[in-house]
Amino acid sequence: GAVVSQHPSWVICKSGTSVKIECRSLDFQATTMFWYRQFPKQSLMLMATSNEGSKATYEQGVEKDKFLINHASLTLSTLTVTSAHPEDSSFYICSASPTTDQETQYFGPGTRLLVL
């Protein structure tokens, strides 16, 4: 089956530093990838839609300068949390839609970010 990986799986950083999270589709090409964040016992909230070769589309209330998204290839999207603060601590999950089946999404295992 289709596999999406995320790296790192968890990260602890100091306040003010930037953290990059990678999302890769391992065995399929994904024109579109999505980034979500999830707080404990809460729903997944869509942050942005990442399209290969173009700018990401951010959901209302999500700061694009804070959460930089790059989708440089059909198998890789990155989310960079710039100048991270403790309130950015969360579980970040990406998903990818195969180019040949945009109705389906495959989710990565998530990245847990803790900002001290």
Residues that bind other proteins (CB under 8 A): 4, 6, 34, 41-46, 49, 91, 93, 95, 97, 102-110, 112
72, 18 contact by CB (below 8 A): no
Q: Phi and psi dihedrals of 88, rounded to 5?
A: -85, -10
CB nearer other proteins, residue 9 or residue 18: 9
Spatial separation of the C-alpha atoms in residues 13 and 28, rounded to whole Å: 32
Return the number of the residue (1 or 86) whose C-beta is nearest other proteins: 1
3-state secondary structure (DSSP) of residue 116: coil
- Closest distance of CB 16 from other proteins, Å: 26
Write down the least CB distance from residue 114 to other proteins, Å.
13
Q: What are phi and psi of 14, to 5 degrees?
A: -85, 150
Q: Which is nearer to other proteins, 19 or 37 (CB)?
A: 37
Q: Are strands 4-7 and 57-58 parallel, antiparallel or unpaired?
A: unpaired
Between residues 14 and 41, which has the closer beta carbon with respect to other proteins? 41
**CB of 83: closest distance to other proteins in angstroms?**
26
